[in-house]
Every structure is written in C-alpha cells, then in structure tokens.
Structure 1
Amino acid sequence: MSKSGPRERILETAARLFYTQGYNNTGINQILEEAKVAKASLYQHFGSKDELGVHYLKAGREEWFGGLKKWTSAKNTPVQKLLACFDHLEYALQQHHFLGCKFINMLSEIGESSPLMSKEIIEHKGKLREFMKGFVTAALQGKPADEIEMIGDSIYLLYEGAIVESKIYKETWPVKRSKKMIKALLADT
C-alpha cells in the first residue's frame, strides 16, 4: 500500500477490487479494511459507493488515454498511430491478465442502476471513438465523408470487439486479426 492519504488509498483499493473482483462483489467494508481507513473517510471524500465508482471510471479514462497518447505519439503517420492504438490495447490486455475493459465490465454489472456511472462509460467510449476516427480522417483525406465515417466506425467496432474476444479467449489473436483487417481497409492510403 502506498503512503498516500485516505482519499487516494480508498480510490487505489477500490480500483483494484472493482477491476479484479467486480463492482457488485466489492463491499464498502472490504475497501475500507484493505485501504486501512475509517468509514467516515469514504463518505467525506466520495459520499457513496456510486460516487466512488464514478471516480474510478474517471481515473480509468485518464489512465487509458494517457497510455494511448504515449503509444500514438511515438508514430508518424495516421495509419501508424491508429495501429498503435491496437498495439497499446494488446499490451494492456496482457498486463491486466485479460480482465477486459473496466468500462464494459462496469456496464455489465450496473445496467441502468447508476445514471452517473453510465454517463461516464458513454463519455469514455465516445471519446475513444472520436480519438480513433481522427486518425482515420487524417489517413483518408480527400475521401467522401460517409466513407470516412463508415471506415472509422468499422475500426472502432473492431477495437471494441477485440477487447471482448480477447477477454473470452485470454489471447491476443483478436487484436492481431483486427490490425490485419485495418491494414486491408486502409491499403490505399
């Protein structure tokens, strides 16, 4: 455990437990015990488990985009940057033992029970879709807008599908196959 304050310890512990054992399977008492903080600290800093879940998702988005930007900034062309998104995904899936996407995992647990967490999930996925479409748009300059839109969404859906299939199979072949499909889609660029 780090030497951080109660707020940080609660968030670090909750993030680890939510991701590894699930949001619904993680109780407040377990978080407090493992974070070594009093119950009053949770309510002082977060107010509720749902609010803690929102902070977990926000921190997850910052972390994910930090990694994506690091991997894509090392590349030169839009296609290389797009493929780097998938390289980052492959790396992250392996690092996290194929536990999948924390946003998809959370949505599968909460359903429609938490509008605030649902909003965070939708914002994350929308930002990811636009981030990737930016590279597609740059790669396909001069092509019709509807073609760019269709290819951009196809690549985004390949990314999302690769996450789920990699979790199922505990293998990176879905990411590798998606990269081959992207190269075929963008072969003319």
Structure 2
Amino acid sequence: MHSRSERRAHLVDTALRLFARGGYHATGIDAVLAASGVAKKTLYHHFPSKDDLIVEVLRERDRRFRASLAAFVAARATPRARLAAVFEWHALWFAEPDFAGCMFLNAAAEFHDGSAGILAVAREHKQALEAWLAALLTDLVEAERAAPLAADLNLLLDGAIGTALVSRDPAAAARAWALAERLLPAK
C-alpha cells in the first residue's frame, strides 16, 4: 500500500505528464484517474478541484524545470558559458520528442480569464526565472543592467519556446542566444 504522500505525488506526476501533452482543459479528471489508477475520492481528498491539481502540477513543474536548468548551468566554468548554457538547455528541451511548449505559458493562455491561482503560479515561475537570470548576469554586466537585461533574455527565451513549438526546430534556442549575445558586453 502506498502512503498518502506517495499517492499524491503519483497523481501530480501523472497529471503533469497528461496536462503537458494534452492541455489543461482537454485533459479531464477521468483521464488523470484512469492513467494514475487512483480513486476519485483519493484525488479529491488531495485536490478539492481541478484548478487545485493544476496549481500543484505547475508548482512541481517549476521545481523540476528550475532544478534541471540550474544543474545544467552550474556545470559551466565561466559566467558567459553559464548564460549560454541556459539557451543550450532550452535547445535540448525543444528537441525532446514530447516537447509541447511551456506549461506556464500554456496555462496562462488557457486560463487568461479564469483561475487567479493558476495565473499566479505561472507568473511566479516567469518572475523566478527572470530573477535567476539577473543573478547570472551580475558577473557579466553592471548591477543596474542585470534586471532589465534578464527581462530581455526571458523574452527571448519565451519567443524561442513559441517558435520551437510551432516550427519543431530546436535551433530557435541558438537563434535566441545569438540575439542575446548582441545585448551582452563584448567578450
């Protein structure tokens, strides 16, 4: 028998996979239940509504996304190489066979006039990524330039995500990096 926390984690993991592939509105609770093998009562014990499940799925995606990206970037020796690694990581993500775009942008698109909780988690993810980029930039640019430049880089990354989703071309990340390099001080 699995513990409550294991069942909850299994539900979140299953829902994350299904929502990433099929979208939030198109993926019903019954699909999550069927794929997870969890009873409806158990699901609603942990998540009183589908929106609550989506919020937790997005929080888990945020944790996984940022941990994976940070580990990939940390392996690089220089500040510029670490920044380039952000775009390289995205290129690898774009090349994955199940790449379906950014779950946070997708959530914002599907719930633009809906759940404040879902939109808040999407916004928090983008803000956290931007703050992390600003921290990476502090070794490359003056302190007052780090935050605005991080916002520009975040914009380039979001554009690359959309382009890669539509074109199915992982090179969108390399093109975004080429543009980002124009914004950085000369080597």
Report if aligned partners of 1:72, 1:85 keep a CA contact under 8 Å in 2. Answer: yes
Number of the residue aligned with 2:124: 123
Task: Structure 1: give runs of 5+ residues left out of the alignment.
Answer: none
TM-score (norm 1): 0.90
1:28 alignment partner AA: I
Q: CA deviation at 1:187?
A: 4.2
How far apart, in 2, do the equivalents of 1:178 and 1:152 lie? Answer: 13
Asked if 1:40 is matched to 2:41, the reply is yes
Q: CA deviation at 1:182?
A: 2.1
Number of the residue aligned with 1:8: 9
Q: Deviations over 1:85-140 (max 9, x none)?
A: 11111111222533110111111111121111111001000000111111222201
Asked if 1:20 is matched to 2:18, the reply is no
- Secondary structure at the counterpart of residue 98 of structure 1: coil
How far apart, in 2, do the equivalents of 1:5 and 1:155 lie? Answer: 37
- Secondary structure at the counterpart of residue 27 of structure 2: coil
Q: Structure 1: which 4+ aligned runs deviate by more than 6 Å?
A: none
Asked if 1:172 is matched to 2:170, the reply is yes
How far apart, in 2, do the equivalents of 1:34 and 1:98 lie? Answer: 20
Task: Structure 2: give runs of 5+ residues left out of the alignment.
Answer: none
How far apart, in 2, do the equivalents of 1:32 and 1:148 lie? Answer: 45
Question: Aligned ranges for residues 12-161 of structure 1 at < 5 Å?
Answer: 12-141=13-142, 145=144, 147-161=145-159
Q: CA deviation at 1:159?
A: 1.1
Report if aligned partners of 2:140, 2:185 keep a CA contact under 8 Å in 1. Answer: no
TM-score (norm 2): 0.91
Identity in percent:
29
CA RMSD between the two structures: 2.0
Q: CA deviation at 1:40?
A: 0.5
Count of aligned pairs between the two proteins = 185
1:158 alignment partner AA: L
